[in-house]
Amino acid sequence: MRGIVILAVLIALTGAVSWWAVMRQSMSDQGVWLLVATGNPHGDTTNMDVSVELPTVMQEPVKTDEHDNPLWELWVSEHYQMRDEAGNDVPGARQAHSLLVNEEKTINLPEFYIHFNLKQGQKYTLEFIPHLAKKTHYRHEFVPTDEKQHVERMQFEAFKPKS
């Protein structure tokens, strides 16, 4: 009888530890999914368009100047930071539509796209910062190729920057 009680306690402890581990993993930040399109190679460069959906813009609205004109360039540069292998910033431009994405087949049409011109074969890191005041950022590494067109939702992993 004593062995059965010990076995039951061990099974209960194993179940509790397993449940705790599963819950801890499921409650952690799983990252964000962003629609990324690459293609239209020309020379040694290729285009990349990253979709920005309306909920993203609404989380931290765009600032305006004294005449209430939206400062989109500032918003884009603060929330989407592309860097090459050497750590140099790669500027992105806001555009209404993408030639790389067939919007008839896309779920959750974006508010706009951020367009980058990237060198093929070079490694880039895109850092997405949904809230400037929060310490959690999301990033994904890319190596553009000469592929004509590639569109997919990519998972950007959560990280906390050192600085």
Say if residue 64's pLDDT is above 70.
yes
Is the Cβ–Cβ distance between 99 and 41 less than 8 Å?
Answer: no
Is the Cβ–Cβ distance between 114 and 127 less than 8 Å?
Answer: no
Taking residues 139-160, report their average pLDDT.
88
53-77 burial, b if ≥16 CB within 10 A, otherwise e? eeebbeebeeeeeeeeeeeeeebbe
Q: Give residue-wise pLDDT tens across range 111-120.
A: 999 999 999 9
Q: What is the pLDDT of residue 104?
A: 81
Q: Give the three-state DSSP class for 29.
A: coil
Quick one: pLDDT band at residue 69, thresholds 50, 70, 90? very high
What is the C-alpha to C-alpha distance for residues 150 and 120, in angstroms, rounded to an integer? Answer: 14
Could you tell me the pTM of the whole model? 0.79
Residues with Cβ within 8 Å of 13's Cβ and at least 6 positions away in sequence, in order, are none
Say if residue 23's pLDDT is above 80.
no
Query: At the topology level of CATH, where does 31-159 sit?
Result: Immunoglobulin-like (2.60.40)
Domain ranges of the chain: 1-30, 31-159
Q: Give residue-wise pLDDT tens across range 74-112.
A: 999 999 999 999 999 999 999 999 989 888 887 778 899
Q: What is the CA radius of gyration of the chain?
A: 22
Q: What is the pLDDT of residue 42?
A: 86
